[in-house]
Amino acid sequence: MDNRLRHINVEEREALLCRGCHAEEWDKVLVAPDFRVEQLRNVRFEGSVTIGSGTFIYDSTISNYTIGRNCTIDDVLRMECRHASTFGEGVVVAAANENGGRSSVIYRELTAQVAYLMTVMRNRPAMVERLKAMALARAEEHRATIGRVEDGCTIVGARFVREVNIEAGASIEGSSLLENGTVGRGAKVGIDVRARNFIIDNDARVDGASMLERSFVGEHSVIDNGFTAVDTLFFANCHMENGEAAAVFAGPFTVSHHKSSLLIAGIFSFFNAGSGTNQSNHLFKSGAVHQAVHQRGTKFGSSAYVMSPAIEGPYTVVLGRHTRHHDTQDMPYSYLIEENGNTILMPALALKSYGTVRDIEKWKSRDKRSLKRDNICFEEFNPFITGKMLRGVDILTRLHENDPEAKSYSYNRTTIRASMLSRAIKMYNSAIAASLGAMLSNGDHRAAKVDGSEWIDLAGQYLPLGEVEAMMSSIASGEMYLDDITMHLATLLERYNDMAAAYAYDIVTALMGHEADTEELEQIKVAADNIIKRMREITEDDRLRDTGLDMMVGYGYDFRDTAEHEADFLNTR
């Protein structure tokens, strides 16, 4: 705001009264030096109000707000700050566990990674409590009795806006109730939206009579078409319509478009919910205490259902109903299929699916972030999933060795057919070789040292567990503050390729029994390139089956000529 703000003079007051404007105390209304009475019409001011240059306000009631430059406020029933507020910061969100066992504290600069530490790492209670304390302290730093509308905002047709900070370039149009929250830079809040105790990050959109309660909406996320969210954390590029989320940790790119789809008490990431997706977390014994984990890239088919607790590995396709609490986290790229009430696990099968390749590619192309507060690794070949495939091969090999003649095998409350088991070992081994070579090609293994071979997916960022352990210890001991954590994670993101190459080099050394020389490394890279080409040929064949003429059913149906059918099919697809 211009520090030369002035009071409205007597002549201006008289003119404003004629234009239907009133104030409890005109002396508490400050305006820019170039203020003109034409900027106001039918406005009631209560408490302290500041109006920036070029701002127009019509047919509204404003109470205790500082309004920036070049804003438009029109037909707002009440925009008010009735008491001291932290504007959504410091709100406790019971994500992933409805009873609050994984509650997190939201604040303006919250990232997916910090939220994951706060929500998931409950085996490190000192670290969690310090994170929550720092988040609450950050919220208290921003407590104020005056709300803020920054430059270039548009607020039109809203009914009640109470204790809400609205950042530069944001727009609010036709919302019903916004209370105790923050609307980030460039964000949009639309018709009939109701939101309490919330933070909406930069360039996000909440529209279409959607409802938020104790929720965080990440950068460039979309909440639309009557979607309801309670106690939920959405991070970058999520897109939710029509359905419902309750007690959810939604990592980047979590998507649900369909009515009657419910996400509840779970941890999701790069997730896609089919129509009628459902879960249950209440077994009618100890209450709604259970959770499910759907790791990166998991997809639910139409009407798929999972009873918590359960966990699937990355890039798992879930079809049918599953009630036996499966644990397939070390079987990535799998299908889970219901058969006569049993869960059939088909390991590695999704490696042949064009859908998997398409998902990985589309996330990169659909990343609309500008601020990039959340750290995201898009790499298909990475230490996190490679480690899972290595464990998967060990598990499947042991199952076969223990009973070579078996026709099926039981694994963590799922069934694996023998034919699928042997095929999965071959597919995993090929993908492991491809991954190791790709990681060695993308980084310099000599430029980084990795503590241990275990990696995790920290809400979108692949990291060595040793690095995360060290960081959590530093947080618990008071050596790292919120901004330090963000900067440290950004540094690790920059070092990712070299750390991944170092991981791959260590795995290759363990498999070969000696440190590979330059020639051997080149051979590994060349072999990996060849494997990746073969993998792409397989997924391309899968794509061609989906786009082939066998799928021409129902095209050009008004004509009897096959050429007409083909023309309609090709021009459509």
The DSSP element (H or E) to which 399 belongs, if any, is helix 383-402
Residue 573's pLDDT band, with cuts at 50, 70 and 90, is confident
Is residue 404 reached through a cis peptide bond, with omega within 30 degrees of 0 on the bond before it?
A: no
Burial 383-415, CB ≥16 within 10 A → b, else e? bbbbbbbbbbbebbeebbeeeeeeeebebbbbb
pLDDT at residue number 453: 86
Read off the pLDDT of each residue in 244-255 and give the average, rounded to a whole number: 98
Read off the pLDDT of each residue in 142-170 and give the average, rounded to a whole number: 98
pLDDT, tens digit (0-9, with 9 covering 90-100), for 431-449: 999 999 999 999 999 999 8
The DSSP element (H or E) to which 571 belongs, if any, is helix 562-572
Number of domains in the chain: 1
pLDDT, tens digit (0-9, with 9 covering 90-100), for 250-283: 999 999 999 989 999 999 999 999 999 999 988 7
Residue 458 lies in a domain: yes
Read off the pLDDT of each residue in 552-569 and give the average, rounded to a whole number: 92
Lowest mean pLDDT segment, chosen from 165-169, 203-207, 474-478, 561-565: 561-565
Residue 563 lies in a domain: no
Which structural domain range is residue 479 located in?
375-534
Three-state SS letters, 196-233 = EEEEECCCCEECCCCEEEEEEECCCCEEECCCEEEEEE
Using the Cα atoms of residue 94, residue 100, residue 102 and residue 104 in order, give the sign of their dihedral.
positive
The whole-angstrom separation of Cα 506 and Cα 329 is 23
pLDDT, tens digit (0-9, with 9 covering 90-100), for 203-242: 999 999 999 999 999 999 999 999 999 999 999 999 999 9
Whole-prediction pTM value?
0.95
Q: Which amino acid is at 354?
A: Y
pLDDT at residue number 324: 95
431, two tokens:
């993908």
Residue closest to 432 by CA, chosen among 481, 383, 470, 465: 383
The whole-angstrom separation of Cα 244 and Cα 256 is 9
> Does the pLDDT value for residue 47 go beyond 60?
yes
Distances 444 to 152, 493, 502 between C-alpha atoms, Å: 46, 15, 7
By percentage, how much of the chain surpasses pLDDT 70?
A: 99
- Helix, strand or coil for residue 319? strand
The total number of residues written for the chain in this structure: 573
Residue closest to 207 by CA, chosen among 221, 220, 188: 188
End-to-end CA distance of the chain: 54
pLDDT, tens digit (0-9, with 9 covering 90-100), for 301-315: 999 999 999 999 999
Residue 364's pLDDT band, with cuts at 50, 70 and 90, is very high
Residue 384 lies in a domain: yes
The whole-angstrom separation of Cα 454 and Cα 450 is 9
Residue 461 lies in a domain: yes
Residue 2's pLDDT band, with cuts at 50, 70 and 90, is low
pLDDT, tens digit (0-9, with 9 covering 90-100), for 178-189: 999 999 999 999
| Helices 496-512 and 482-494, axial angle in degrees (round to 10) | 60
Residue closest to 183 by CA, chosen among 209, 163, 156: 163
pLDDT at residue number 451: 78
The DSSP element (H or E) to which 45 belongs, if any, is strand 40-51
CB 297 within 8 A of CB 356: yes
Read off the pLDDT of each residue in 331-335 and give the average, rounded to a whole number: 98
Average pLDDT taken over every residue of the chain: 96
Residue closest to 511 by CA, chosen among 432, 396, 424: 432
User: What are the φ/ψ torsions at residue 97 (nearest 5 degrees)?
Assistant: -145, 115
Residue 564 lies in a domain: no
Residue 527 lies in a domain: yes
By percentage, how much of the chain surpasses pLDDT 90?
A: 94
pLDDT at residue number 258: 94
Task: Name the pairing type of β-strands 56-67 and 461-464.
Answer: unpaired
Residue 478 lies in a domain: yes
pLDDT at residue number 286: 74
pLDDT, tens digit (0-9, with 9 covering 90-100), for 366-396: 999 999 999 999 999 999 999 999 999 999 9
Read off the pLDDT of each residue in 411-415 and give the average, rounded to a whole number: 98
Residue 510 lies in a domain: yes
pLDDT, tens digit (0-9, with 9 covering 90-100), for 471-518: 999 999 999 999 999 999 999 999 999 999 999 999 999 999 999 999
pLDDT, tens digit (0-9, with 9 covering 90-100), for 520-546: 999 999 999 999 999 999 999 988 888
Q: How many CB atoms lie within 10 A of CB 341?
A: 10
pLDDT at residue number 3: 63
The whole-angstrom separation of Cα 423 and Cα 2 is 70
pLDDT, tens digit (0-9, with 9 covering 90-100), for 66-123: 999 999 999 999 999 999 999 999 999 999 999 999 999 999 999 999 999 999 999 9
